[in-house]
Amino acid sequence: QVQLMESGGGSVQAGGSLRLSCTASRGSISVYTMAWYRQTPGNQRALVAKITPGSRITYTDSVKGRFTISRDNAKNTVYLQMNSLKPDDTAVYYCNCGFGAIEYWGQGTQVTVSS
């Protein structure tokens, strides 16, 4: 069973940057679609970005041009570079890996953007 551990969250002022990392253990991410989701209180988790094993990338509209997802299969890690952060980006960010009906989640990391 793949275990995912996120890091890199924190507090930043609007316009700042953060880079989230998600490292997998007990398995290789190379066959999985890797994704970042975020969740705010009272809301469902929403997709932020995903990257397939072939590096096809999808972003939700609100982060296009500001966020960049990437993967390093050799390091078993997926990244989310977040630039030009806005207060609306404040959320708990979760790493996800999926293969068909199988998926795993990390424990989440808090990102807080102040105005």
Please name the residue that has the structure tokens 């207060």: 87
Mean pLDDT of the chain, nearest integer = 96
For the residues 70-92, what does the mean pLDDT come to?
A: 97
The model's confidence at residue 1, banded by pLDDT at 50, 70 and 90, is: confident
- What pLDDT was estimated at residue 3? 94
- What pLDDT was estimated at residue 87? 98
- DSSP line for 36-55: EEEE-TTS--EEEEEE-TT-
Residue 59, φ and ψ in degrees, nearest 5: -125, 150
Contact between 28 and 76 (Cβ < 8 Å): yes
The model's confidence at residue 88, banded by pLDDT at 50, 70 and 90, is: very high
- Distance between CA atoms of residues 43 and 19, nearest Å: 23
pLDDT over 90 at 26, yes or no: no
